[in-house]
Amino acid sequence: MQTDKMMKAILLLTFTVLVSSSPVQPGNTAPLKQSYRRTLLKELIDELDKVLNFSKDTQGNVPNVFLTELKACEHKSFCQYEEELIKEVSGVSGAEYDPFRTDKLLMRNLHMFNEHHVKTCKRAEGPVKIHLQAFLKDLLHCAKREFTTSK
């Protein structure tokens, strides 16, 4: 009998947690989506700042990687930034490449941002290759621009 009561209590608690953690859908979900978008962008900006400042402090450990230069700052550009980082940097081992792993915050936020904005993504192609530092600065510029234009 004691175990039956414990099982019922556990099931009741589990149900309570599940119900209380499910999102409430207000009549107008646009502000919720917008705030989530801004949160992703803000975290992306913070992570890019950390990576760029870390590599400034440790000049000897700056990855010597060259990526395709992206000219535009559009929604599709973020997807192209992600694709380029995944193909050229995410799979490389070494401590200096750690922030670019797909399970780290920088790449997760970039992926989540793209998941909500881009239906299909075509990898950028171009003759101009730039150093990882310059590539990240361009991505940071685009993220800041996107953040300031979204209210």
Tell me the CATH number of domain 31-149, given options 1.20.1250, 2.40.50, 1.25.40, 2.40.128. Answer: 1.20.1250
pTM to 2 decimals?
0.72
Q: Are the C-beta atoms of residues 78 and 123 closer than 8 Å to each other?
A: no
**Higher pLDDT among residues 151 and 24, named by residue:** 151
Domain ranges of the chain: 31-149
CA distance readout (Å), 145 to 42, 90, 131, 136, 149:
11, 25, 21, 14, 6
Q: pLDDT tens digits, residue range 21-80?
A: 444 444 444 454 788 888 999 999 999 999 888 765 555 566 788 999 987 888 778 999
Query: What's the pLDDT score for residue 29?
Result: 42
